Chain A
């Protein structure tokens, strides 16, 4: 095992840049993707028919095609197409449209929007309608009912699945090494090409991914645990004193 290349400040810089990019991609796609997922789920449940159909079509296409193909499609396809439109290269958003990070984040956002949107749709549909009705009956606005009652309950119900999606997202990130974005895998590839060491860089980044996954899992577990109203599951797992009351009917 030869890890002497770790001393090289250039390689250190690649690895740090790759690590930072990975975190950024994960954060941006998770936030934007979850927002999109809520929109997709609501469009399918409550949207007017054309919008619902559009959301369904989007879900089918994004879930039915490989992520790598989508990434190529947006970067090489859409990216090159935009490049050819007169004026785009002079516009203010060109630095963004030229950046592979943008296409990576876009692809992952759409992917999370489709997968998690489907999860959320099921969860939203499974919240007993009486809970929303109670909100309406007390004069809450449709938005309040959604933001305060319906969505939190749906998220509560599918949180473990959503956190699973986030962990899958983290491990999809190395795909961006194929579109000239410096991520951990790209850094490892450069090191391999220059040092002719195949296993060591891969082992290093595998270790980093493993550590990130463990940390992410722990963080998300805390989120799950502290999500409002999640106590029931926690208590069921731990043999604490039983609630003295009769079991509820649900």
Chain B
């Protein structure tokens, strides 16, 4: 991605927003991520694709540590994550302060939106900047209005989430994520819970963000969209990276037979 952005420094293209080395995540006996390494340059868009159960969402949720990995190393937004490890090298704990600092720099958009129903649209967007980043109410509202405008939801600022359509809720959720002015934006299947006719309004917002040069990692089933907006596509397969590279490499030139079969309908 070569387009400029006000949020990024000039040398952004040389820096990495995410470094993942040999990540392993287990749920009991089930190994969801077996050995995943991944690099996301600042200002780039990475899409993670793969079949259900391939570990896509788990990988994404490891990036803001909603899931705690069992092995491996992580560096997010210039911070190496300090894990507590047992003598075997297994991760057994986290530094809570670092965790909260990190999460303030990494925003997530959820499949089910996860808006806070007892807060207005504006309240949803000002909550974290005020509580976590310590913004004054006035500045938080200014910011919230700015980003609600961006996603086309400014007129609903005093409404409650329950009165919005899925697409509108997801756009508010995107504004909520942007209001943290994060270094990294994570999207966890942002359109999977939407009615088909509402998908495009959300994809349109994400497309604009990608064009702005924001650093984004997205788990998605929208193959055509992933191909269009991504700088990098990662095909996850049974807990391993089956294929990774430019959209062209993954969608057209993959040598991995499972990857070829998976992307065939979109190729």
- A residues apposed to B, CB below 8 Å: 128, 130-131, 133-141, 144, 148-149, 152-153, 156, 227-229, 231-232, 243, 245-246, 248-250
Answer whether A232 and B116 are a contact pair too, CB < 8 Å, given A134-B110, A139-B128, A148-B127: no
Number of A-B contacts (CB under 8 A): 93
Q: Chain B interface residue count: which class?
A: 35 or more
CA A130 to CA B128, docked complex, whole Å = 15
CA A140 to CA B101, docked complex, whole Å = 10
Is A229 within 8 A of B193, CB to CB?
A: no
Is A133 within 8 A of B66, CB to CB?
A: yes
Report B188-201 CB contacts with A as 1/0, cut-off 8 Å. 00000101001000
Known: A131-B116, A137-B108, A228-B123. 12 other contacts (CB 8 A): A128-B114, A131-B115, A134-B108, A137-B110, A138-B103, A138-B180, A139-B103, A144-B131, A149-B118, A232-B160, A232-B163, A248-B164
Answer whether A229 and B160 are a contact pair too, CB < 8 Å, given A131-B117, A141-B100, A246-B166: yes
10 cross-chain CB contacts under 8 A: A138-B132, A139-B103, A139-B104, A140-B100, A140-B132, A152-B118, A229-B117, A229-B119, A243-B159, A250-B162
Q: Which residue of B lies closest to A155 (CB)?
A: B118
Q: From residue A1, how far is it (CB to closest CB) to chain B in Å?
A: 51
CA A144 to CA B132, docked complex, whole Å = 9
Report B136-160 CB contacts with A as 1/0, cut-off 8 Å. 0000000000000000000000011
CA A80 to CA B64, docked complex, whole Å = 58
Is A134 within 8 A of B100, CB to CB?
A: no
Q: Which of B66, B103, B123, B169 contacts A248 (CB 8 A)?
A: B169
Q: Which of B132, B161, B162, B176 contacts A139 (CB 8 A)?
A: B132
Enumerate chain B residues within 8 angstroms of A130, measured Cβ to Cβ.
110, 112, 114
